Structure 1
Amino acid sequence: MARTPFHPLDHAWPDQPADTGLLAGARVVDCQTGATDGQTLYIGDEIPVKRGAEGWHWLVVHIMEEPIEGQVELWVDPDRRHGLSAGHTACHLTALALNEALAPLWRKEARADSLGHPDFDQLAITSSRILNHGSRDVYRLGKSLRRKGFDPAGLDLAALTEQVGERLKEWIAADAPVWVDCPDEDLTARRTWRCLLPGAEASIPCGGTHLTSTGELGAVAVEFALDGDELAMTTRVARG
């Protein structure tokens, strides 16, 4: 299907898990991106081309235990969708707060995020996973990042946790609007997450799902852990 309420797992950047739910009353086992050249359907990691390849059509594949034909009703699990949307919105806000907190540790000019701070999140990230009401991101702190100008010697996890947490409280209290810009309905369209924070509009390329305001998060806790040349950040959204 090219149009569906289900959010599929993106094989290229599998940060947000697929939605679950029902199709014609039957359970959707999995939901992934697919692509076809008009003859063969490829699913997930099987896809041999990049998005936008000429002659290819992209679609959402609903994997069922048994095939179903005809016009059907689709139902997405609202609790799972909300939990993943909360986790994804909190993930972006935390990344922006992290960039701001780490800005003094840069010794060279680096590419900036939409708020004007060196974009540590995008320059150092190795993996990102959206969880139910949370997320986990892992960043590299090795030689390649040091060559870009980042100095991890001054990293203080206690101070970092406090500073990021305070910024998150401020942004959540502002109840800032959140939305996703999409130029068209095509599955390959470049989507952008946006948030009208106090004094500035934040933006991050993103194809996931989100809440409609920062105030919906209620409260967000963040934890950091160092393991050699890796920094792990875990974000948890308090459930109402």
Structure 2
Amino acid sequence: MPQRDTRVTYPGGALTARSRVLHVAPAHEGRLAVVTEATSFHPVDAAWPDQPADAGVIRANGVDLPVRDAVVAATDGTDLHLGDDIPVRKGTEGWAFLVAHLVDGDAAIAEGDEVEVEADAATRRALSTGHTACHLASLALNRVLADRWSKPAREDSLGSPDFDGAAIASSRILPDGSLDRYRLNKSLRRAGFDTASLAGELDDVRSAVAEQLERWIAAGAVVRVEAAGDGLTDRRTWVCELPEGTARIPCGGTHVASATELGSVMTSFAVVDDGGTPVLEMTNAVRPRH
């Protein structure tokens, strides 16, 4: 059983990784969970499942084995726990956190095999485009909503009150897009954010966010992911060099290398009801530059 975190290469944009199979175990739906020493596959994390897993294959013994899913797993050296079944928080001492590649149950693969992991380029690019657009849109939204705060609020890395950080309920990265949901609840109002007239001003918010995104894309802002190490749980940060300064957001996902690659982003807003709590939904649809 692996004793250290999986070494990951996807934060730097890698699509392939040569590695050795460390462990193979039965998984749900009759599949096998394959753990390799290193991987280029971005897995879905049950703790914050914003970005879906990469698609692609594990090339073993001359055969391409389709990876049906990839999830964060963990072990204390005895049992392998997948996704929602992980009983401890990421980074817990004495546990190794791993990328488990789920393949068909009859796949010919075994511990000790030398393999090549390959993520599909088109899928990766679409998700990376969506994730970069998501972060830029959240920063733009923070700037546009800055005058709705009546009390001092925690600021984002560009100096705007961090509405995204204060109100985010969920974030989903989509191929060439994203969907963020923000709870406009009592705690947000007590923190000093004016929610009362927001629903009636969504057209103005949309227009202002669109203008800000257009300026940032036109500026060709450079994007990178900084990592404290190459382990799955090592801290990683999305960094974007914008005209207003360097934006930084903690992030474990994948991204394009420049805002220019986004081409254009269509952002829309709606306020919906969630069990009596109003929720602001921000949807981004990217028309990427190829």
TM score, norm. by length of structure 1 = 0.98
Deviations 1:64-106 (A, max 9, x none): 1034121112221110100000000000000000000000101
| Paired position in structure 1 for 2:228 | 183
Is 1:123 matched up with 2:166? yes
Query: Which moves more between the two structures, 59-68 or 90-99?
Result: 59-68
Change (3 A) 1:124 1:2: farther
Is 1:209 matched up with 2:209? no
Give me the whole-angstrom Cα distance separating, in 2, the residues matched to 1:50 and 1:8. 16
Give me the whole-angstrom Cα distance separating, in 1, the residues matched to 2:154 and 2:131. 23
Is 1:84 matched up with 2:84? no
Give me the whole-angstrom Cα distance separating, in 2, the residues matched to 1:73 and 1:54. 30
Give me the whole-angstrom Cα distance separating, in 2, the residues matched to 1:187 and 1:209. 13
Query: Which moves more between the two structures, 140-149 or 126-135?
Result: 140-149
Determine which structure has more spread, i.e. the larger CA radius of gyration.
Answer: 2
2:57 to 18, 22, 29: 22
1:46 Cα deviation after fit:
0.6
TM score, norm. by length of structure 2 = 0.81
| Paired position in structure 2 for 1:49 | 88
Alignment of 1:1-240 (within 5 A): 1-24=36-59, 25-65=64-104, 66-67=106-107, 68-69=109-110, 70-155=113-198, 156-228=201-273, 229-240=278-289
Structure 1 letter corresponding to 2:281 = A
* Secondary structure in 1 matching 2:114: coil
Kept in 2: contact 1:2–1:60 (CA 8 A): no
Structure 1 letter corresponding to 2:241 = L
Structure 1 letter corresponding to 2:93 = E
Give me the whole-angstrom Cα distance separating, in 2, the residues matched to 1:2 and 1:176. 34
Kept in 1: contact 2:129–2:288 (CA 8 A): no
Structure 1 letter corresponding to 2:40 = P
Kept in 2: contact 1:90–1:134 (CA 8 A): yes
* Secondary structure in 2 matching 1:160: helix
Structure 2 letter corresponding to 1:31 = A
Aligned length: 240
Of Structure 1 and Structure 2, the greater strand share is in: 2
Deviations 1:113-139 (A, max 9, x none): 000011000110101000000000000
Runs of 4+ in 1 over 6 A off after TM superposition: none
| Structure 1, unpaired ranges of 5+ | none
Give me the whole-angstrom Cα distance separating, in 2, the residues matched to 1:213 and 1:206. 16
Give me the whole-angstrom Cα distance separating, in 2, the residues matched to 1:40 and 1:74. 24
Kept in 2: contact 1:2–1:187 (CA 8 A): no
Structure 2 letter corresponding to 1:184 = G
Structure 2 letter corresponding to 1:9 = V
1:239 Cα deviation after fit:
3.8
Structure 2 letter corresponding to 1:60 = V
Query: Which moves more between the two structures, 192-201 or 62-71?
Result: 62-71
| Structure 2, unpaired ranges of 5+ | 1-35
Give me the whole-angstrom Cα distance separating, in 2, the residues matched to 1:51 and 1:127. 19
Give me the whole-angstrom Cα distance separating, in 2, the residues matched to 1:199 and 1:110. 19
* Secondary structure in 2 matching 1:72: strand
